[in-house]
Amino acid sequence: MKEEKNTHALLFLLLLHSTLGQLDYAPHFYDYGPSSTHGNMALFSISEDTSVGTQIYVLNGTDPEDDPVQYGLTFEKGSKEYFWVESKSGNVTLVQELDRETQDEISVLVSITDGRNKVVETVRVFVTDANDEPPEFQNLPFIINIPEDTAAGSSIYRVQAVDRDMGSGGSVSYYLQTIPSTASFFGIKWKHILQQDII
Ligand SMILES: *[C@@H]1O[C@H](CO)[C@@H](O)[C@H](O)[C@H]1NC(C)=O
Ligand SMILES: *[C@@H]1O[C@H](CO)[C@@H](O)[C@H](O)[C@H]1NC(C)=O
């Protein structure tokens, strides 16, 4: 009799387990990798010159029971809210201007829910560079005193400018514009792309 009781208890537990287990599975995101424009947004890259209002991504996932899912998107405390998601379609829109020189990586909490289970993932979105920063001279103004006996061909000053863009967008070239009466006195020598001698 005791054994029968135990069997009943076990059966009950098994039943309970399988009912609960099959009651509802959590939805999940698809992950098609960083270069895809739909999925969970993980490692997605967006150029800093993307216009506000552009649809940039579609959050996309599924529910094992095929229940309709809704999407959500939030940011860590203190972070600007750069994106907005339309909960049913998963369409993600850029709602804040980006600037790689200020923030090159954005942490986003993306969520998917079937109404009962909500799955939240923290993903990183990268902001890529556009050539949007002007070059800036260092140590302005340049005031240079030149002794009159300075030999022709001497280096009299080295100008330097910096540009906060990356790669080729961050390299600078120098030109010298002289007023006609002094044109023959000065020239600029290419030394390398970032620093030039004026001779
Ligand atoms: C979501 O992913 C599924 C499976 O790959 C695909 O059939 C569907 O078209 C995708 N939806 C969107 C909006 O990208
Ligand atoms: C979501 O974006 C697709 C194009 O990717 C568009 O066809 C659809 O109308 C958009 N839906 C909403 C609700 O904005």
Q: How far away, in angstroms, is 174 Cα from ligand 2 center? A: 47
Say if residue 111 is in the same domain as residue 150.
no
Ligand found nearest the CA of 62? 1
Ligand 1 — pocket residues by CB below 6 A? Answer: 30, 38, 58, 60
Query: Strand (E) positions, the chain?
Result: 28-29, 38-39, 45-47, 55-59, 61-62, 70-75, 83-85, 91-94, 105-113, 118-128, 136-137, 157-162, 188-192, 195-198
% of the chain at pLDDT higher than 90: 51
Band (194; pLDDT cuts 50, 70, 90): very low
Say if residue 136 is in the same domain as residue 76.
no
Mean pLDDT to the nearest integer, 67-93: 96
Ligand found nearest the CA of 87? 2
Give the residue with greater pLDDT, 179 vs 146. Answer: 146
Which pTM value belongs to this model? 0.73
Residue 96 domain-assigned?
Answer: yes
Say if residue 157 is in the same domain as residue 105.
no
Question: What pLDDT sits at residue 32?
Answer: 93
Residue 15 domain-assigned?
Answer: no
Question: What pLDDT sits at residue 7?
Answer: 61
Residue 6 domain-assigned?
Answer: no
* Total number of domains in the chain: 2
Mean pLDDT to the nearest integer, 143-162: 85
Question: 80: closest CA among 104, 106, 42, 51?
Answer: 106
Q: What residue numbers bound the domain in which 152 lies?
A: 131-199
Residue 10 domain-assigned?
Answer: no
Q: How far away, in angstroms, is 60 Cα from ligand 1 center? A: 6
CA distance 112 to 134: 41
Q: How far away, in angstroms, is 94 Cα from ligand 1 center? A: 21
Residue 8 domain-assigned?
Answer: no
Residue where one domain finishes, among candidates 95, 128, 161: 128
Report which protein residue has its CA nearest ligand 1's atom 5.
Answer: 30
Residue in 28, 29, 30 to alter for ligand 1 test, most ligand atoms within 8 A of Cβ: 30
pLDDT digits (tens, 9 = 90+) for 163-172: 888 888 888 8
Q: What is the CATH number of the domain that holds 151?
A: 2.60.40.60
Residue 7 domain-assigned?
Answer: no
Residue 124 domain-assigned?
Answer: yes
The overall average pLDDT reported for the chain is: 85
Q: How far away, in angstroms, is 54 Cα from ligand 2 center? A: 12
Give the residue with greater pLDDT, 180 vs 127. Answer: 127
pLDDT digits (tens, 9 = 90+) for 40-54: 999 999 999 999 999
Q: How far away, in angstroms, is 119 Cα from ligand 2 center? A: 23
Question: What pLDDT sits at residue 96?
Answer: 97
% of the chain at pLDDT higher than 70: 81
Report which protein residue has its CA nearest ligand 2's atom 12.
Answer: 89
Band (197; pLDDT cuts 50, 70, 90): very low
